[in-house]
Chain A
Amino acid sequence: MLRDKRQEYLTALVLVGPFIIIYGALFVWPTIQMVMLSFTDAPLIGPGEWVGLENYFKILSHRLFHAAFWNTAYFVVLTVVPNTLVSLAIAMAVNRLKGWQQSLVLAAFFLPYILPVSVVFLTWNWIIDVQYGLIQWLVRPFNGGEPISLTRTIPLFMPTVAFVTIWWTLGFNVLLFIAGLRNISPEIYEAAALDSAGRWRQFARITWPLIWPVTALVLTIQLIAQLKIFDQVYLFSIGGRQDATIVLVQYIYKLAFQQNRGGEGATAAVLLFAMIIVLSVLQYQLLRARGEK
């Protein structure tokens, strides 16, 4: 029996070994190193002096950090709730369709989600192009007939990128909502129809409450994902005034990779890290509180 136990431990070690090596070297170790680096004045590559909390004070009072924080928050506001609501509406509409119509419509909404960010960027950059973009047909009348660069005009930058992001990512949420809607038993709707409840009452009294857990899940996933935003904001801001539209991950990138301040970059990363953990835990508690009711 003892031999069996030893055998089992050995098997477990072999099976878990690759995982331990990968996660140890590429997850646990970099995380520890990130925290240590944040207390030094090291460049991106190479050693640095221990400076204690200096980086933290410096960054928390850095004007650009504040800009990055508020831009990220603004982006979250522009994407999370609108994306969730639009996805729910689309999911309900798609769910009504049948057969090949449903597959085709779902594919149209989902296809953008599986494309690389640079494809999404190039496609939309062409559509909004200031000279020849299709969107100019829509925006010119609002600007006295003059074309507008949607990504070079700073107040329009975030809404434009948020719009593209919603178009790009809503397919994922639509799928989750469809899964949720299919879990609602049809008998409930039949009962409601017998009581001659209208479409709106059915939605308010049945669909919305029963779909709430999925809604909460979608909101959480969205919130965490959008706090980590980088790719599309970076791509659309190339050649523009990047500091005005900077987001948090871009701020980390700027400090560490463009200004060669590894220590400060790590500090900004620790701050982002802390923000995401706090928000995840808060969200989780909220979800659980609602789930237990």
Chain B
Amino acid sequence: MLDLGGLVLSAVTIAFALLAFFPLYWAIITSFKSDTEVIASGLSLWPQRPTLDSYIHIWERTNITQWYINSMVTSVLITAGVVISSAGCAYALSQLDFPGRRLIYVLILACFMVPMQALIVNHFVLMAQFKLLNTWAGIILPQLIVPVVIIVYKQFFDSVPKEFREAAMMDSAGHFKILFRIYLPMNWGVTAALSIITFIGAWNAFLWPFLAATGEATMTVPVGITQVKDAYGIVYAKLMASAVLAGLPVAVLYLIFQRRVTQAVMLSAGVKG
């Protein structure tokens, strides 16, 4: 039995997927073209004389190496800070009884509703007061607030059978030991997923790093590449090379950990409902 309708539908889907991917493909091949080829009219789907000139130009003439270092350092520290503090907090909320527990949980939920974009003015004032503008700390601190991570962790910790903890308690293991030897190892997959998605979020952040880092030396990659300009003419090949360099780390991370990334998106979306 031949399902012709289904076949057509599949073909249309694949055609649409190609169309959706085309802008990225176009950016990538443009980055390998020479400036003269870029402005030559016509749709040439492959660079006639592939060249790395644009990449060399970006590498040599802009601060991109420094921006890479800034982005790497801040994104890694944000990820570590968020994941470690969230795991501890979620364990306490899930397994310990202490005063103020409910209040803290309400605070985390409130965080979902508050637009961080509304807090930019006061984050800026605060960072200015502590002289942290144009520093890594200034870029990092306001980005440490990622309530989703705590809630996802708490949900997973809640579902760990109580017997594990009780057995460990019998062996007179402390809570820290239980957290690091039982709860976290049982949820490595969750930790990996949350870490990757936090890293991608931190790498991609635009508004706050754009405000906190005004000097070229402290900019992150996504902010820095919007500064790449040339004195004359069309420089799209160079702009596309900078775009490819900015997107490369997250694209590679995604392609390697595709399943974890999609898992993390589904986990964090489940929380928002």
- Tell me, yes or no, whether B126 is within 8 Å of chain A by CB: yes
Say yes or no: A266 contacts B222, CB within 8 Å: no
Q: Is B115 an interface residue (CB 8 A)?
A: yes
With a CB–CB cut-off of 8 A, which chain B residues contact A122? 27, 225-226, 239-240, 242-243
Q: Which of B16-24, B49-57, B159-167, B187-195 contacts the other chain?
A: B16-24
> A12 and B145: CB pair below 8 A?
no
- In the complex, whether A115 has a CB less than 8 A from a CB of chain B is yes
Total contacts A-B at CB 8 Å: 267
Contact A111 B9 (CB under 8 A): no
Minimum CB–CB distance from B29 to chain A (whole Å) comes to 11
Contact with A along B228-272 (1 / 0, CB 8 A): 000000101001101100110011011100100110011001001
Chain A residue nearest to B86 in the complex (CB): A19
Cβ of A104 to closest chain B Cβ, rounded Å = 7
**13 additional A-B residue pairs with CB within 8 Å, beyond A114-B254, A132-B39:** A9-B99, A11-B176, A15-B92, A15-B175, A16-B88, A16-B98, A27-B107, A112-B23, A114-B261, A118-B243, A119-B247, A137-B43, A217-B273
Instruction: Digitize A12-42: 1 where CB-to-B-CB distance is under 8 Å, 0 elsewhere.
Output: 1111101110110111111101100100000
Known: A30-B126, A118-B223, A217-B269. A8 touches B96 (CB 8 A): yes
Give the nearest-CB partner of B244 in chain A: A119
Contact of A273 (CB < 8 Å), options: B112, B118, B126, B262:
B118
A-B contact pairs, 28 of them (CB 8 A): A11-B92, A15-B89, A15-B91, A15-B96, A22-B81, A26-B123, A30-B119, A30-B122, A93-B12, A96-B9, A106-B262, A110-B262, A115-B250, A115-B251, A116-B206, A119-B222, A127-B26, A129-B234, A132-B234, A134-B43, A167-B23, A175-B266, A199-B5, A249-B120, A257-B124, A266-B121, A270-B118, A273-B118
Residues on B with C-beta less than 8 A from A230 are 117, 207
**Digit string of B205-223 for contact with A (CB within 8 Å is 1, else 0)?**
0110001000000000111
Q: Nearest 10 CB-CB pairs, A to B?
A: A30-B122, A116-B222, A12-B98, A19-B89, A15-B88, A108-B17, A18-B85, A15-B92, A93-B13, A269-B118
How far is A15 from B84 in the complex, measured between Cα atoms in Å?
Answer: 10
Determine the distance from Cα of A118 to Cα of B34 in the docked complex, in whole angstroms.
22
CB-based nearest A residue for B258: A107
Chain A 143-193 interface residues, beta-carbon cutoff 8 Å to B: 167, 172, 175-176, 179
Q: How far in angstroms is the closest Cβ of chain A from B65? A: 18
User: Taking A33-B122, A272-B115 as contacts, is the C-beta distance between A96 and B258 under 8 angstroms?
Assistant: no
A131–B107 CA distance with the chains assembled, in angstroms: 51
User: Taking the complex as formed, is A206 at the interface, i.e. its CB lies under 8 A from any CB of chain B?
Assistant: no
Contact in complex: A119, B243 (CB < 8 Å)? yes
Q: Is A259 part of the binding interface, using a Cβ–Cβ cutoff of 8 Å?
A: no
Q: Are A27 and B20 in contact (CB under 8 A)?
A: no
With CB as the reference atom, state the residue of chain B lying closest to A112. B24
Kindly provide the distance from the CB of A107 to the nearest chain B CB, expressed in whole angstroms: 7
| B48 contacts the other chain (CB 8 A) | no
**B1-12 vs A: 1/0 string, CB under 8 Å?**
000011001101
Could you tell me if B269 and A27 are in contact, using CB atoms closer than 8 angstroms? no
A75 at the B interface (CB under 8 A): no
Which residues of chain A are near B204, meaning CB under 8 Å?
114-117
Contacts of B242 in A (CB 8 A): 122
How big is the A interface, by class?
A: 35 or more
Q: Cβ of A129 and Cβ of B236 under 8 Å apart? A: yes
User: CA separation between A131 and B207, bound complex, in Å?
Assistant: 29
CA distance A33 to B125 in the complex (A): 10
The 8 A CB mask of A235-256 against B (1 = contact, 0 = none) is 1000000000000010011001
Neighbour of B121 across the interface among A19, A176, A262, CB < 8 A = A262
Q: Give the residues in chain B near A45, CB-CB below 8 Å.
A: 125, 128
**Which residues of A sit under 8 angstroms from B24, Cβ to Cβ?**
111-112, 115, 123
Q: Give Cα A109 to B222, complex, Å.
A: 21
Q: Which of A31, A96, A115 has the most CB of B within 10 A?
A: A115
* A64 on interface, CB distance cutoff 8 Å: no
**Alpha-carbon separation in the docked complex, A220 to B99 (Å):** 33
With a cutoff of 8 Å between Cβ atoms, the chain A residues found around residue B12 in the complex are: 93
Name the one of A94, A117, A134, A176 contacting B222, with C-beta atoms under 8 angstroms.
A117
In the assembled complex, the CB of A229 is this many whole angstroms from the nearest CB of chain B, namely 9
How far apart sit A221 and B265, CA to CA, in the bound complex (Å)?
13
Closest approach, in angstroms, between the C-beta of A253 and any C-beta of chain B?
A: 7
CA distance A143 to B57 in the complex (A): 37
Tell me if A73 is interfacial: C-beta within 8 Å of chain B: no
- Nearest A residue to B12 by beta-carbon distance? A93
